[in-house]
Chains A and B, each alone.
Chain A
Amino acid sequence: MLWQRDADKASLVIRGARVLDPTEGVDAVLDVTVEDGVITALEPGTADRDGLLLAPAFVDPHVHLRTPGREDEETIASGTQAAAAGGYCAILAMPNTDPVVDSAATLGALLETARREAEIAVGFLAAITKGQRGEELTEMGELADTGAVAFSDDGMPVASAGMLRRALQYASITERLLALHCEEPTLSKGGHVHEGAVAAELGFTGYPSVAESLDVERNLALAAYEGQPLHVQHLSAAESVAALRRARDAGLRASGEVTPHHLVLTDEAVRSLDPNVKMNPPLRAESDRLALLEALRDGTIEAVATDHAPHAAHEKDVPFEEAPFGVTGLETAFAALYTHLVLPGLLPLETLLERLSAGPARIFGLERPRIAVGAPANLVLLDLAEEWRVGDEPFRSRSRNSWLLGETLIGTATLTLAGGALAFERAGVAA
């Protein structure tokens, strides 16, 4: 289901790092031997220097690669290179491209390109409805056979409850998950900013949290009625989190994801009027942020997803309301969360690593990156002592609409192995 270009399998030994794979129960200073892309030995080592951490590489369940249609903003090559630099070994791309990935032909062409260009493993979601218009189901059977990992109309909600019910019913034969962007459009219409004090003072049309949570509740109710699993994307509101927790407690196979920016920022950031803090769903109140963080800690939310959404510079260099929704995230996700959540003691490092890797892999039924003898090398070597300023070094992504431009972060990926191949190595790193 995942595709990556053919590359030489790596053979190397990573010495002196703390090796941490929470899911495998590994936490020790080990020398890790990789031969022909497979981990062949884990042996006790001595710490080289503080701050070197070897972990299972990350999996991002929510990325926009803009291909086909907007290759000026991102390509499969540039997007997967950016992901590798962020420590990822696998990413899932959303189908809201131009044209939409809603036919086997379009999907097949993407898979071919990925086989040639993808630096790390990439999987593709196909649309739930044709053209993401919410009117007709896509041919999910053929799309799944061709290689779709899951289905999503991301960017748009499936507005009609009846249509979503049919999608839940039909997707069951494909054994693929529906990943839903939850938004009640009659409540969010025209909204640019979370409906709250900041929108009220600045004059922005509000996009209330109930526009998301109402749709989350509806979708979970339909999934429960049909007895089907469901994944809810980029949660932003406390009420949505509460709904997901209730559904899971009731035994529903429901999962959720949250973005780094919703975990770090609130709508207060919008006071800057910077279009690089404009995204859908919008940044919300501090109480929402804390609810998301709590859900990530307790496992109600199993995955961190960047919702990496590249945009051309000239499209973001306009007044806020005119700018498109979306920010980049692949190259900064770990550092942002390590700096803002782990270092201040708000989130254990082990939990962050789990939600960046094993969690999203489990949700989408992907092979879990793990540190064990015999496992393919999907590894990231992190330097937790490195301080860097976002934007100083050019982005691998073709776009630079990062919400962190100019910010100093701590922690960076220095080496990434994906599918046994060396996908990224920071200059000057001798492993």
Chain B
Amino acid sequence: MTSIRLVKDDLRPPGPPPKRHLLSVEDLSRDDVERLLGTAKSFESSLERHVKKLPTLKGLLVVNLFYESSTRTSSSFELAAKRLSADTLNIKSSGSSVDKGESLKDTALTLGAYDPDVIVIRHPQIGAPQLVARVTDAHVVNAGDGKHQHPTQALLDLYTLREEFGRLEGLHVAIVGDVLHSRVARSLLQAFRLVGIHTTLVGPPALLPRDLPAETTSDIEAIRDADVVYVLRMQQERMQAGANYVPSLREYTARWGITPERLRPGQKVMHPGPMNRGVEIDPRVADGGDSLVTTEVRSGLVVRMAVLYDVLTGGPVGVRALAAAEVA
């Protein structure tokens, strides 16, 4: 029941235990989350040393395969692998054979031929990491697949919240904005449920998906009671032309933009980046003392180190007994 388990539909007869992947928050147990956050914490203390590099993953190969633009996620995965002494290979869709029409399966098979230990993949389509996990022998880490999942973002946000509040259970987070197009929101919702964080989703009616199992409202006043306001980016690149989710960005900002006036003193603000300043978040909020945005970026590095370590070793670094990591 514990451990990062995936490829559920593996129909092959019993053989070696399934590879450890991180494809979706749904596959994590509470114990997995605790183990990963604990590992990240121990890596954080190692980064305070003068020599920041650890020999842990020396000789292993981490491939970063990015089909969508990314600054934070790709740089932190690369740095995380380097801090752990792994070799890294970074491939972006533009300038690669993807431009020539190569399918994801063929690209995965090609990279798989180098025997990478981990493939970190970001892709605009739901389920792309599952496909890579199926056709290669590498451990696969989902760095964002379409509107589906972004599990390392959810983990780094849990890490950030625990650093800030010293606890997770019982916190109340309001997630505000374009929930419909947000993989971050989907991963957060599952992660928050797992650790006992109360969540309210706030946004324009057409940007709140129907039948999502959560408390939803279009009334921005609902952020009042939250400990943290988690602001989502308006994802214009994922919106179909002419879909009219909102009449205009101006109208969106007027109704749902997070301004100092809408916040209580001391209410914390998070944002997964990149921010559209002046649209979903007022610059005064983004740069204000209650913003946790740069903490999130720092958390991203240690959490991704922990994820790489965890999928490869299946165990914690000195914070918990190894048994906790065993597959039930």
Contact = CB atoms under 8 A, between A and B. Distances in A.
Given A201-B212, A321-B125, A190 B9 contact: no
Given A196-B210, A197-B212, A202-B126, A321 B9 contact: no
Given A196-B211, A199-B209, A314-B103, A321 B240 contact: no
Contacts of A196: 210-211
Interface stretch (B127-135, B155-163, B289-297): B127-135
B105 A203 contact: no
A190 B148 contact: no
Contacts of A317: 103, 105, 131
A203 B211 contact: no
Given A317-B105, A321-B146, A203 B131 contact: no
By size class, the interface of chain B is 20 to 34
Interface string A168-209: 000000000000000000000110000111011111111000
Nearest to A275: B127
A274 interface: yes
B104 A274 contact: no
Contact of A197 (B123, B131, B213): B213
B9 A320 contact: no
A161 interface: no
A160 interface: no
Given A189-B240, A200-B210, A206-B210, A319 B104 contact: yes
Chain A interface residue number, banded: 20 to 34
A219 B211 CA distance: 29
Prevailing SS type, chain B contact patch? loop
A197 B145 CA distance: 19
A273 B212 contact: no
B104 A197 contact: no
Nearest to B183: A203
Most B Cβ at <10 Å: residue of A196, A273, A320, A406: A273
A145 interface: no
Interface string B67-83: 00000000000000000
Contacts of B51: none
Given A203-B183, A272-B9, A314-B103, A319 B209 contact: no
Interface in A252-302: 272-274
Given A195-B210, A273-B126, A319-B145, 8 more contacts: A200-B210, A203-B147, A206-B210, A317-B105, A318-B105, A319-B127, A319-B128, A321-B125
